[in-house]
Structure 1
Amino acid sequence: MEALLASTLVVAIAEIGDKTQLLAIILATRFKKPVPIILGILVATLFNHALAATVGYWVSDFLSGAWFKWVLAVSFIAMAAWALIPDKADDEEQKEPGRYGVFLTTAVAFFLVEMGDKTQIATVALGAKFHSIAWVAAGTTLGMMLANVPAVYLGEAATKIVPLKYVRMGAAAIFLLLGVWQVAELTGLLK
């Protein structure tokens, strides 16, 4: 349960202002069909984050020494720094979803844009930390949906509700806390 809650919180906060959330806003304002956009985000995130959590799980199986745990701690701290950097939307001017429809366009775009994104990398690290594919993938997917569903329904107005600067600072604090937590476990401070 800890893996589910931590994964949900980390990704929900980290996703705000992220390029995939900006993509959700762009798709919503262009296509004005929230249900297929939300379903596309859900499917893409489930596949992408299940894959990422699996990679984290496997990596933690093969690399279970103390040095790997230090790498994991440093990766969370690095994610804290990365979370402070604002994302920009890299989109082309396409007004129609093409022949594949809104759902498939959204699913493919989200899957590809999420590759190498901070929330995907966080999912790998969370999968390694909690050693749970299902709970981490479920939590990170829930976090993505908590951040993106309002963005789809509110469109551009969603970016004005909460100043993104403060959300990025909150996400950085959570990643830093996870890194410090890992360091505390390694140094015996939590025993």
Structure 2
Amino acid sequence: MEAFFVSTSLVALAEIGDKTQLLAFILAARFRRPVPIMLGILTATLFNHGLAGSLGAWIASAVDPAILRTGLGLSFLAMAVWMLIPDQLDSDTMRLSRRLGVFGTTLLAFFFAEMGDKTQIATVAMASHYAALGPVVGGSTLGMMIANVPAVLIGERLAQHLPTRRIHQLAAALFALLGGMVLLGLGG
């Protein structure tokens, strides 16, 4: 359960103000069809984070535990620093064909926008740390949905009222704490 809750919390916080959340705002404003957008986000996230979690599980099985612990601890500390860097949405992400429809456009846009993103890297690291693929992927997917569904439903108004910088600082502190705990051999 710890893997699920930590994955959900960290990804939900990391996603606030992220380029994929900005993408959710843009898709909602452009298409005004929340259900296929949310289904596209869910499908893309399950696939993307499933791949990331599988990579993390493979790393955990292939790397010496002492080296893995050091690498994971340092990667969580790096994620803490990365959380403090503002994210921007690439305009290329929105140049998908209208022939794909709302669901297809959302699916592809989210899948590619998430490649190499903070939350994908965090999913790899958490799957390596916890060696619990299902709970990590489920938790990271739920975290993405917690952050993006309100973006789709409420849109631009929500973004203006969220203290994005403070949320990123909290997420950075949590990543730093987790990194320190891993380096010290504490926790899960």
Q: TM-score category by the smaller chain?
A: over 0.9
Where do residues 70-81 of structure 1 align in structure 2 (5 Å cutoff)?
70-81=70-81
Give TM-score, length-normalised by structure 1: 0.93
Where do residues 160-175 of structure 1 align in structure 2 (5 Å cutoff)?
160-175=160-175
1:178 equivalenced with 2:172 (yes/no): no
Deviations along 1:131-182, one digit per CA (max 9) or x if unpaired, are 0111100000000000000000111112112121111101101111110110
- CA, structure 1 residues 53+151, in 2 after alignment: closer, same or farther (shift >3 Å)? same
Query: Is the 8 Å Cα contact of residues 31 and 96 (structure 1) preserved in structure 2?
Result: no
| SS in structure 2 of the partner of residue 88 of structure 1 | coil
Query: Is the 8 Å Cα contact of residues 11 and 119 (structure 1) preserved in structure 2?
Result: yes
- Give the total of aligned pairs: 187
Q: Which residue of 1 aligns with 2:48?
A: 48
1:83 equivalenced with 2:121 (yes/no): no
The alignment-based identity, stated in percent, is 53
- CA, structure 1 residues 74+102, in 2 after alignment: closer, same or farther (shift >3 Å)? same
Give TM-score, length-normalised by structure 2: 0.95
TM-aligned CA deviation for residue 94 of structure 1: 5.7
- CA, structure 1 residues 82+180, in 2 after alignment: closer, same or farther (shift >3 Å)? same
**Alpha carbon RMSD of aligned pairs, Å?**
1.6
- Equivalent AA in structure 2 for residue 161 of structure 1: H
Where does the alignment leave 5 or more consecutive residues of structure 1 unmatched? none
- CA, structure 1 residues 22+61, in 2 after alignment: closer, same or farther (shift >3 Å)? same
Distance 1:92 1:57 in 2: 32
Where does the alignment leave 5 or more consecutive residues of structure 2 unmatched? none
Query: Is the 8 Å Cα contact of residues 96 and 109 (structure 2) preserved in structure 1?
Result: no
Please identify runs of 4+ aligned residues in structure 1 that moved more than 6 A. Answer: none
Where do residues 1-191 of structure 1 align in structure 2 (5 Å cutoff)?
1-92=1-92, 98-185=98-185
